[in-house]
């Protein structure tokens, strides 16, 4: 009878330690996840695009199709130059 109780106690102890080991393993796996809120980008730099003619960064570009079919972005200063070349606006 005592051997039966000692076996049951040993089984319960092993089962609890196994469950604790599995829980610790899951926590280690979950700690590999990176929170995206820590890696925010500065929106002010990403809003600006470069002009295809003068290569200056501008917040607002007008897009035209070039002679070779390529799409180009033109700032307000270079817009007359694009219209002089009779580029179709997109």
For the segment 58-79, what is each residue's pLDDT rounded down to a tens digit? 889 999 999 898 999 999 999 9
| Number of structural domains found in the chain | 2
Quick: pLDDT tens for 3-59. Answer: 888 888 888 888 888 877 777 777 777 666 677 776 666 665 567 889 999 999 988
Give domain status of residue 36, yes or no.
no
Angstrom distance (rounded) from CA 25 to CA 32? 11
Q: How confident is the model at residue 84 (pLDDT cuts 50, 70, 90)?
A: very high
pTM: 0.48
Does 79 lie in the same domain as 48?
Answer: yes
Domain hosting residue 64, numbered range: 44-84
């Amino acid at each position: 009878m005592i051997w039966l109780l000692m076996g049951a106690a040993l089984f319960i102890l092993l089962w609890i330690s196994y469950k604790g080991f599995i829980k610790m393993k899951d926590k280690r796996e979950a700690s590999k996840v990176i929170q995206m809120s820590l890696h925010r980008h500065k929106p002010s730099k990403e809003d600006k695009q470069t002009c295809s003619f003068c290569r200056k960064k501008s917040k607002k570009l007008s897009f035209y199709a070039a002679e070779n079919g390529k799409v180009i972005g033109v700032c307000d200063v270079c817009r007359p130059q694009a219209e002089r070349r009779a580029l179709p606006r997109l």
